[in-house]
Amino acid sequence: MRAGTTRVRLVAMTVLAALSLATAACAEDSTGGAAGGPGEAGGMKSGLKIAFLPKQVNNPYFTTSDNGGKAAVEEFKGSYSETGPSEASPSAQVSYINTLSQQNTDVIVVSANDKDAICGALNEARQAGAKVVTFDSDTNPTCRDLFINQATAEGIAANQVKLISDAVGPEGGEIAILSATANATNQNAWIELMKTELAKPEYAKLKLVDTVYGDDQDQKSFTETQALLAKHPNLKGIISPTTVGVAAAARYLSGSTYKGKVQLTGLGTPNQMRAYVKDGTVKAFALWNPADLGYLAAYAGGALASGLITGKEGDKFTAGKLGEYTVGKDGTVLLGDPYTFDASNVDKFDF
Amino acid sequence: MSERAAAARRVLGSWDVIMLIALVVVSAVGALTIDGVASPRFWRFVVLEALPIALIALPMTLVVITGEIDLSVASVLGLTCTVMGHLWASGVTSLPVLIAVSLLLGALLGAVNGLFVTGFGLPSLAVTIGTLALYRGLAYVVLGDRAVADYPTAWTTSAIAPIPGTTIPWMILVLAALAVVFAVVLHATPVGRGLYAMGNNAEAARFAGIDVRLTKFWLFVATGAMSALAGVFWTLRFASARADNGSGLELAVVAAVLLGGVSIFGGRGALLGVLAAVALLGVLRNALQLAYVPANTLTVITGALLIASVVGPNVAGMLRERLRRRRSTAPTVSPIS
């Protein structure tokens, strides 16, 4: 009886393991594809294996950007895949980079959870033949071939400060920042530049009193907003340069007595913010088009892997419908200026 | 009676064998069906990923066998990383000194856990949930949102350097040596037998002359030190000391220890099974990732395995218990088996 239970358990485990591996193997067959020779117009190779590795999966922002990438990869007849950790941690991302490298991926398009921690893995993947394009959040320039910059940090900082200043009005007052995680590369760069921007004479009446972190979690961002308003009764405005944060803050404000009294701007998506623009909680917010960002990143990766460009300053490549782009300093490609959404145009967008 | 004891021992001992067989089967099936699992690079990545978990799982096995638990290990790792990074950034350039300070710090943090559990008689679950938050908080105090990442390349490359002629990181030898030490202590010394005894019945163990408090105290110290060692490795492997290093790793460690056949109620388990479980989880994860299984599915599979590992032995235990009770109350009824 006892030996029997053991045997049954053993068999069950083996079957379970074999089953999960077998189903997995089937999934692999349908996505595989060998890199072919040059074919398409512009000298882009067809059949390139291009993988998107966002900070985390199940995040609407990255779903949008990765779908943009997918559209681009389909245009130049490559093989697209998206993979990534369910939580935004650098060590989990390293594991996925290693996996992509073993899968002989031609291009890894990654948004870095830590600019240093994933470096070793990325370089190991490059030695094995992969091209690395970062987007949204960069690594050290030594660990990737190109960085697709959604907007310059200066451009974003200037835009966000201008928007909150316009919303708060000429009297100015206290403002605060609701950020994502305390160590997000891009968030911290923007916050520093916002401080520089706020030091300018035209913003002398705006006073930054606090920076809080919502960790890009809806619930935490919501309660941090609540705490922020309790802590600073004279607060006039909040900047939340993260899509999760700004939506949570808007949801809190719109249901509170602060609606219309405390101004809010940030980086948000039209679909998340539409209701709050219409009910008057938010006058204007900004973002780039994440789908365009992913689209450009995919084309840049394709051009690298096809040998059309090497990633050095001055290299030019064509990114489908977006037109021609030039590689700038430190191997970066700039998507464009941040785009401001308000009541007049928010309905024209769907992402 | 002796026959039953022998049978029981066979069943208990065989969980390690089940884990080993599962490891071999998963590896073999993976190698045959998934591109890349058979390659040496795969094993390099698996070892790199599993090393910190295995290092912490060694002392955790002993802790859980005594009926306690330490959930603060990942926070000890994180705090060690930040202190090490801070010291390096403020001019301590000797690696041996950094390692020594880190290990001492880890031991100290473990001693705090040990003191609360044994000195004040508080449940380790509550104490270490507290220090989980406390130590992680301190890590943010030390480095805030900064990351220290400018370590010499010689350090970071040697931390993950392979054993010459292979792709397997040399750190696995350190792990192996430590595993031997822990295995000898647990399975071949009076101290080790004492650990099982206090896991089964702390009161009885004390009457048998075992210093339960002192032993448990040192186990927490050892757990702290080993978590710190994992922290040093983590810092150098990722070339990055940040306050959130290794957050959530305690669950991976506890999962491996339980899947490895250690009873969460104490008194039962072996190191071999735990190490096999660490490897099994690592191989399964990486193999499924290679097979394009999405992250969400992976989490579900790992969770299901864990539930199975906790439920399996307990259901077996309950059946055994029921059988035994039936025998003792009605000795004339012949056993079913």
pLDDT digits (tens, 9 = 90+) for B41-71: 899 999 999 999 999 999 999 999 999 999 9
Whether residues A13 and B22 touch (CB distance < 8 A) is answered with: yes
What residues of chain B lie within 8 A of the CB of A4, using their CB? 337
- For residue A18, which amino acid is it? A
E-assigned strands of chain A?
49-53, 79-82, 107-110, 131-135, 146-149, 173-179, 206-213, 235-240, 263-266, 284-287, 316-318, 324-326, 332-334, 339-342
From the list A250, A249, A237, the residue with the least C-alpha distance to A175 is A237
A43 backbone φψ class: left, alpha, beta (φ>0; ψ -120 to 50): left
What residues of chain A lie within 8 A of the CB of B298, using their CB? 86
Percent helix, percent strand, percent coil in chain B, to nearest 5 = 75, 0, 25
The reply to whether B21 touches chain A by the CB within 8 Å rule is yes
Q: What pLDDT does A349 receive? A: 75
- Residue B25, pLDDT above cutoff 60: yes
Sequence-distant (6+) residues with CB within 8 A of B23 are: B276, B279, B280, B283
CA triplet A278, A283, A285: central angle to 5 degrees?
105
- Residue B154, pLDDT above cutoff 70: yes
Residue A191, token pair as written in the block: 């916050």
The helix (H) or strand (E) run that includes residue B74 is helix B73-89
Residue bearing the bigger pLDDT, B18 or A37: B18
Residue bearing the bigger pLDDT, A13 or B159: B159
> Burial level of B311, CB count in 10 A (0-12/13-18/19+)?
exposed
Using CB atoms, pick whichever of A6, A21, A128 lies closest to residue B29. A21
Q: How many residues does chain B have?
A: 337
CA B49/CA B29 separation, integer angstroms: 21
Helices (H), A256-312: 270-278, 290-305
Whether residues A20 and B301 touch (CB distance < 8 A) is answered with: yes
Residue B30, token pair as written in the block: 């993976």
The alpha carbon of residue A182 is apart from the nearest alpha carbon of chain B, in Å, by 5
Using CB atoms, pick whichever of A17, A57, A94 lies closest to residue B295. A57
CB A137 within 8 A of CB A185: yes
Using CB atoms, pick whichever of A2, A57, A114 lies closest to residue B7. A2
Residue bearing the bigger pLDDT, B314 or B190: B190
Whether residues A96 and B289 touch (CB distance < 8 A) is answered with: yes
* Spacing of C-alpha B264 from chain mean position: 13
Per-residue confidence band for B335, with pLDDT thresholds at 50, 70 and 90: very low
Phi, psi of A148 (to 5 degrees): -95, 105
CB A20 within 8 A of CB B26: no
Whether residues B145 and A183 touch (CB distance < 8 A) is answered with: yes
pLDDT tens series, chain A, 351 aa? 444 444 445 444 444 444 444 444 333 333 333 344 444 456 889 999 999 999 998 888 898 899 999 999 999 999 999 999 888 888 889 999 999 999 999 999 999 998 889 999 999 999 999 999 999 999 999 999 999 998 888 999 999 999 999 999 999 999 999 999 888 888 999 999 999 999 999 999 999 999 999 998 999 999 999 999 999 999 999 999 999 999 999 999 999 999 989 999 999 989 899 999 999 999 999 998 888 999 999 999 999 999 999 999 999 999 999 999 999 999 999 998 888 999 998 987 777
Interface size, chain A vs chain B, as Cβ–Cβ contacts under 8 Å: 156
CA A162/CA A237 separation, integer angstroms: 12
CA A176/CA A159 separation, integer angstroms: 16
Q: pTM of the full predicted structure?
A: 0.76
Partnered with residue A81 across adjacent β-strands are A51
Residue bearing the bigger pLDDT, B269 or B320: B269
Using CB atoms, pick whichever of A2, A18, A117 lies closest to residue B238. A117
Q: What pLDDT does A3 receive? A: 45
